[in-house]
């Protein structure tokens, strides 16, 4: 068993966390990950209202007696979201782990801390990790350029980003972006992290509540199959490189505005992709780690495989590399 500061602080068996993915982080997946001994995460804003989130938390709790968390991405939106009410739903439901992302979580920390909630904040740069640590979060999830979704604007891959962050950040840190197997877990530990956060890899599991077509496309794709959209607007997002993503990039090159591009890259269209399996209906998030994904196991099979192989790697090839 691999024990780290993260497993001890958050009360989980294995140093593996399921990413909080929009439309994907539902009770079926989060509970399966937690039951496997890792940390499952519900995606708060997948639920249309705070009351719906309360119901989803209850549904997840009915499926597992292990720790699980809730992701809350705090971003400015055209239609304001009641973030405070989502926080209330989390606290009132007795959830003790929250993953925040987007803006600085500082305004929400007093209420979470008062309720005994441990907070993991997702960052894409060393400077943001330092700020989050100063604000009082309990752990950092550091997202490298390889990740699905929003990798920030610095374009720094994890081989540099993680050790640079570990040099200055003292609280436990998770490695996020590009992780899908035992080699990634061992590398993350070597780079100064206490575990890994996986999103795309958990999409290709039997319990992931998305269409089989999406899972099979992830398995069939490689590390070159993503696209970076909205680069010119400094709102970069890594998505699957389908016709919609390529059209968005073309429109950016033509100088189109976000008001013109927005309708074709709307998140609601991605939800339909996951529901219907129509892979060209809209954009959908996927990371470069697709090049490492070759099957669709259960969450239990996946977690056990990663941990078992990582332990064998640490005890075997790596230890033998040291001359007597």
- A 10 A CB-CB count for 129 gives 25
**Residue 122 shares a structural domain with residue 235:** no
**Residue 107 shares a structural domain with residue 10:** yes
pTM recorded for the entire structure: 0.96
User: What's the rounded mean pLDDT across residues 2-16?
Assistant: 98
Give residue-wise pLDDT tens across range 161-199. Answer: 999 999 999 999 999 999 999 999 999 999 999 999 999
Where does residue 192 fall: left (phi above 0), alpha (psi -120 to 50 degrees), or beta otherwise? left
Domain count, the chain: 2
**Residue 120 shares a structural domain with residue 267:** no
**Residue 186 shares a structural domain with residue 262:** no
Any idea what the Cα angle at residue 111 is, between residues 106 and 113, rounded to 5°? 80
Grade residue 324 by pLDDT with cuts at 50, 70 and 90. low
CATH code of residue 94: 3.20.20.70
What is the residue range of 171's domain?
5-210
Give residue-wise pLDDT tens across range 62-90. Answer: 999 999 999 999 987 767 789 999 999 99
- A 10 A CB-CB count for 128 gives 19
Q: Is residue 164 situated within a structural domain?
A: yes
Q: Is residue 265 situated within a structural domain?
A: yes
The Cα–Cα gap between 204 and 199 comes to 9
**Residue 231 shares a structural domain with residue 148:** no
Q: Is residue 177 situated within a structural domain?
A: yes
Q: Is residue 314 situated within a structural domain?
A: no
Q: Mind giving me the DSSP string for 193-218?
A: -SEEEESHHHHTSTTSSS-HHHHHHH
**Residue 171 shares a structural domain with residue 268:** no
The Cα–Cα gap between 105 and 99 comes to 10
User: Of 179, 210, 241, which one is at a domain's C-terminal end?
Assistant: 210
15 to 37, 192, 219: CA distances (angstroms) = 9, 13, 24
**How far out from the chain centre does Cα 312 lie?**
26
138 to 17, 105, 126: CA distances (angstroms) = 15, 12, 16
**Residue 54 shares a structural domain with residue 151:** yes
Average pLDDT over all residues of the chain: 96
Q: Is residue 307 situated within a structural domain?
A: no
**Residue 113 shares a structural domain with residue 243:** no
């Amino acid at each position: 068993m691999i024990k780290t500061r993260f497993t001890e602080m958050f009360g989980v068996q294995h140093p593996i966390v399921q990413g909080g993915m929009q439309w994907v982080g539902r009770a079926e997946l989060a509970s399966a990950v937690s039951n496997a001994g890792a940390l499952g995460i519900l995606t708060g804003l997948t639920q249309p209202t705070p009351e719906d989130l309360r119901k989803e938390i209850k549904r997840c709790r009915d499926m597992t007696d292990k720790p699980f968390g809730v992701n809350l991405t705090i971003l400015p939106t055209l239609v304001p979201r009641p973030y405070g009410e989502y926080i209330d739903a989390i606290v009132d439901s007795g959830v003790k782990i929250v993953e925040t992302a987007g803006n600085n979580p500082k305004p929400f920390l007093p209420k979470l801390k008062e309720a005994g909630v441990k907070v993991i904040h997702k960052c894409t740069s060393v400077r943001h990790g330092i700020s989050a640590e100063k604000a009082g979060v309990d752990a950092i999830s550091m997202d490298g350029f390889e990740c699905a979704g929003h990798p920030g604007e610095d374009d720094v891959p994890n081989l540099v980003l993680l050790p640079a962050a570990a040099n200055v950040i003292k609280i436990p840190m998770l490695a996020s972006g590009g992780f899908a197997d035992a080699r990634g877990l061992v590398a993350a530990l070597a780079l100064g992290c206490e575990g890994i956060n996986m999103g795309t890899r958990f999409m290709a599991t039997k319990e992931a509540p998305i269409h089989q077509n999406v899972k099979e496309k992830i398995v069939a794709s490689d590390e070159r199959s993503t696209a970076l959209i909205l680069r010119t607007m400094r709102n970069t997002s890594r998505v699957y490189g389908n016709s919609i993503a390529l059209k968005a990039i073309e429109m950016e090159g033509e100088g189109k505005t976000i008001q013109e591009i927005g309708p074709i890259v709307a998140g609601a269209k991605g939800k339909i992709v996951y529901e219907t399996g129509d892979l060209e209906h809209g954009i959908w998030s996927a990371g470069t780690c697709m090049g490492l994904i070759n099957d669709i196991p259960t969450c239990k099979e996946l977690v056990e495989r990663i941990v078992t192989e990582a332990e064998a790697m640490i005890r075997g090839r790596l230890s033998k590399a040291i001359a007597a």
